[in-house]
Structure 1
Amino acid sequence: MRVLNDREEIRAAAGGELGVSAWVQISQERIDLFADATGDRQWIHVDPERAATGPFGATIAHGYLTLSLLPFLGAQVYAFAGDVARVNYGLNKVRFIAPVTVDSKVRNRVEMTDVQDIEKGQQVTLRHTIEIKGHDKPACVAETVTLLMEAQS
């Protein structure tokens, strides 16, 4: 994991890859738990028998399940050290490029694309590419914006 210790290290990391997470298997149990949490119980996610004859040949993870893995997988790749509050500011762009079929393994490749100084700290833009093991196309590419806000003195 890459630890960015201060404003200068964060600024210097802009424009480069921070690293890649470990592979994580997407089980049917994980898909079902996400379906329960969100109420999205579409058959392509939760009905293995019907999904076997569907467009993907198996159940698939929800796109938002894949997106929700960014914090977990990102924490394996990078950390911001010091006394800063890390606040999710938003997403600039998200694309779900390829489906994640049940029991696939995914990982997160993270690049820091931009760093801007703001009044209370820094605004960091990260590109997350969720790769699927054994596939050329990624599952998801998402650009996130995080505010790093320094404690008030």
Structure 2
Amino acid sequence: MSALDDTLAADLKNIGTEVGVSDWITVTQEMIDEFAKVTLDDQWIHVDPARAAAETPFGGTIAHGFLTLSLASRMFYDCFAPLPGQAMGINYGFDKLRFLAPVCAGARIRGRFVLSRVRKRSETELLRVHDLTVDIEKSEVPALVASWLGLTVFHP
């Protein structure tokens, strides 16, 4: 049996199971500012703390939704080590993505991963789908939910 087949067999037993919870990440104003520079999205709700405190219901600035989403890669690495025989992992996109609550500057977030689907695409590739929930500490509403597709590529 190959490393891919071993992983597939283990994954099939874990469908519907929470398979990882990341460390907490503090989303700082500095992170938000740097993300704004890189993406050229300098809307004031992200980068002007005084105005955001005065003119929004959030009490200050909020992270870009795509900043929150981009931290999912770090969350994934917190939860999952490379598999035996794995050559690489490739982000394959999303079937569903919803931003449910803003992440305020200074908030802590973490990712929770539930394995929802797995399919053998070839002799070297597994398509694995994780339902991702990004929690905001002390909030009942998550920052986002997503169905995240990833290709796990194994050495031939």
TM-score by length of 1: 0.91
After TM superposition, give the deviation of residue 108 of structure 1 in Å. 0.6
Question: Is 1:94–2:106 an aligned residue pair?
Answer: no
Which is worse superposed, 9-18 or 34-43? 9-18
Structure-1 separation of matches of 2:48 and 2:153: 44
After TM superposition, give the deviation of residue 39 of structure 1 in Å. 0.5
Structure-1 separation of matches of 2:55 and 2:131: 31
After TM superposition, give the deviation of residue 86 of structure 1 in Å. 1.1
> 1:132 aligned to 128, 136, 155, which one?
136
3-state DSSP of counterpart to 1:122: strand
Structure-2 separation of matches of 1:16 and 1:95: 21
What is aligned with 2:33? 32
What is aligned with 2:117? 114
After TM superposition, give the deviation of residue 58 of structure 1 in Å. 0.5
Structure-2 separation of matches of 1:146 and 1:29: 30
Unpaired runs of at least 5, structure 1: none
Structure-1 separation of matches of 2:55 and 2:18: 37
The letter of the residue matching 1:83 is: G
Number of aligned residue pairs = 148
Unpaired runs of at least 5, structure 2: 1-5
Q: What does 1:45-56 correspond to in 2, within 5 Å? A: 45-55=46-56, 56=58
3-state DSSP of counterpart to 1:100: coil
Structure-2 separation of matches of 1:94 and 1:22: 21
The letter of the residue matching 1:146 is: G
| Higher strand proportion | 1
3-state DSSP of counterpart to 1:6: helix
Between the two proteins, what is the percent identity of the paired residues? 38
After TM superposition, give the deviation of residue 22 of structure 1 in Å. 1.4
Give deviations 1:9-32, integer Å, cap 9, x for gaps.
233222210121111111100100
TM-score by length of 2: 0.89
The letter of the residue matching 2:72 is: L
CA RMSD in angstroms comes to: 1.4
After TM superposition, give the deviation of residue 117 of structure 1 in Å. 1.4
Structure-1 separation of matches of 2:153 and 2:112: 25
What is aligned with 2:3? none
Runs of 4+ in 1 over 3 A off after TM superposition: none
